[in-house]
Chain A
Amino acid sequence: DVKVTQSSRYLVKRTGEKVFLECVQDMDHENMFWYRQDPGLGLRLIYFSYDVKMKEKGDIPEGYSVSREKKERFSLILESASTNQTSMYLCASSPPGGAGGQPQHFGDGTRLSIL
């Protein structure tokens, strides 16, 4: 069965800290995505990656960076955490989209609180 694993379900950090959120998929998918989810706003795309060492900005990249050194792992980095980055973070992966599109497979999320 396909699996996307996020390293922590819950995380509490302090303002100004550098925070790493890790995501690993076991499906050999080329595409990986990071979203944040806030009540009433749905999911918003932060960054995505189509291949190793490749990254592209999503809709809300400010304050975040990413790293993809290996195909199965996609890391989200909060360079200097702020309270407005308190949120649920979701990682997803998929095969290449192609003309018809592909479903995305999600991890269970990391609920991050910045104090």
Chain B
Amino acid sequence: SQQGEEDPQALSIQEGENATMNCSYKTSINNLQWYRQNSGRGLVHLILIRSNEREKHSGRLRVTLDTSKKSSSLLITASRAADTASYFCATDKAAGNKLTFGGGTRVLVKP
């Protein structure tokens, strides 16, 4: 079974709105990462948050991590049509950088 499970599976919003997606995982982790994938392309790294961190920001992205609930969230503020993509969380359980990916959230931002 997958370590990370994203929720919701799909999300449709208007340009300018915020988009929030969640990731839950089962076992303790070293770090959690979020990636974006545009249609037909490879994954692009967005943010890495370590197990001793609670929140990180990068531009319009905000990631939180709650290790007690084994969950993380990714918030995209003031969304743009170019944010239309699939978003994946990935967990790293131990040093070695072997990641386990969730099934992803498909985000559609309508102009």
Q: Are A104 and B96 in contact (CB under 8 A)?
A: no
CB-CB under 8 A for A48 and B98, given A42-B88, A103-B33? yes
Question: What's the dominant secondary structure at chain A's contact region?
Answer: loop
Instruction: Let me know if A76 is at the binding interface, CB within 8 A.
Output: no
Instruction: Let me know if B78 is at the binding interface, CB within 8 A.
Output: no
Q: Are A106 and B31 in contact (CB under 8 A)?
A: no
Bound together, the chains give a CA A50 to CA B98 distance in angstroms of 10
Q: Are B88 and A106 in contact (CB under 8 A)?
A: no
Report how many residues on chain B are interfacial, defined by Cβ distance under 8 Å.
27
Q: In this complex, which of A35, A97, A98, A107 has the most chain B Cβ atoms within 10 angstroms of its Cβ?
A: A97
Bound together, the chains give a CA A27 to CA B73 distance in angstroms of 30
Which residues of chain B come closer than 8 Å to A40, judged between CB atoms? 103
Question: What's the dominant secondary structure at chain B's contact region?
Answer: strand
Instruction: Let me know if A54 is at the binding interface, CB within 8 A.
Output: no
Interface residues of A in 12-71 (CB under 8 A from B): 31, 33, 35, 40-45, 48, 50, 58-59
CB-CB under 8 A for A106 and B92, given A42-B2, A94-B97? no
Q: Are B95 and A98 in contact (CB under 8 A)?
A: yes
Q: Are A45 and B43 in contact (CB under 8 A)?
A: no
Chain A residue with Cβ nearest B89: A42
**Stretch of B11-19, B44-52, B59-67 that contacts chain A:** B44-52
Shortest distance from the beta carbon of A29 to any chain B beta carbon, whole Å:
10
Which A positions have Cβ atoms within 8 angstroms of B? 4, 31, 33, 35, 40-45, 48, 50, 58-59, 90, 92, 94, 96-109
